[in-house]
Amino acid sequence: MSTQAEKSSASLPGDLLKHGAALDAWFDQRFADKLKEIEENKTPSLSIISTKGTMDWAYPPFILASTAAALGWEVNVFFTFYGLELLKKDLHLEVSALGNPGMPMKMPFGPKWFQGINWNIPNLVMAGVPGFEKVATGLMKKTVKNSGVASIQELRDVCIEAGVNLLACQMTVDLFGYTRDDFIPEIKGWVGAATFLPIARKSDVSLFI
């Protein structure tokens, strides 16, 4: 009668029985293939912390979140401090070039050469002209529309339809005296840092905006 060890050995390829190195190589390849299979079947995940409440800073989290969701990723966006403005029922987001030298002032009308000019307006002028932020916001909205870029409202709707988990910071809600009625009903959770950080830790990509 053959022993159990002999039966097990008989099930292995003959060259593996003769060469220990070949057995190691076979095992390593099997292990690598299994890891690749797990990686290919895994759903990628993205976590974003959104902290800004202006129009220009509203685009990055919603564009990244909607794009990742369209790729089949699991997406969580944690809106905290001024980022909560992006979850309000009524969006009244403005943009300001004041103190932001990286933001060019563009004119969304006139000939192409005129629209291509970067208007470097001194901070002293921007700060001293009444209603300058309203003007800057209007110019930005017109530029976005002319370029065929979706509005913040549209991008937010896309995120909701794509199943992005929009999470509101409960501490900030309490701090600023908001009520839950101020925000859209599609918020998936009213959480704190202690809840969101474990989510971010497990994510493949984590971003702070």
CATH number, residue 57: 3.40.1260.10
Which residues constitute the domain of residue 10?
4-41
pLDDT tens readout for residues 81-125: 999 999 999 898 888 766 566 666 666 667 776 666 666 665 656
> pLDDT value at position 43?
87
> Does the pTM of the predicted model rise above 0.75?
no
**Residue 175, pLDDT above cutoff 80:** yes
> pLDDT value at position 95?
81
> pLDDT value at position 148?
84
Task: Write b or e for each residue in 47-56: b if 16 or more Cβ atoms lie within 10 A of its Cβ, otherwise e.
Answer: bbbbbbbbbb
Q: Are residues 20 and 84 in the same domain?
A: no
> pLDDT value at position 149?
84
Q: Are residues 85 and 144 in the same domain?
A: yes
In the chain, the number of structural domains is: 2
pLDDT tens readout for residues 22-66: 667 766 777 777 667 666 667 899 999 999 999 989 999 999 999
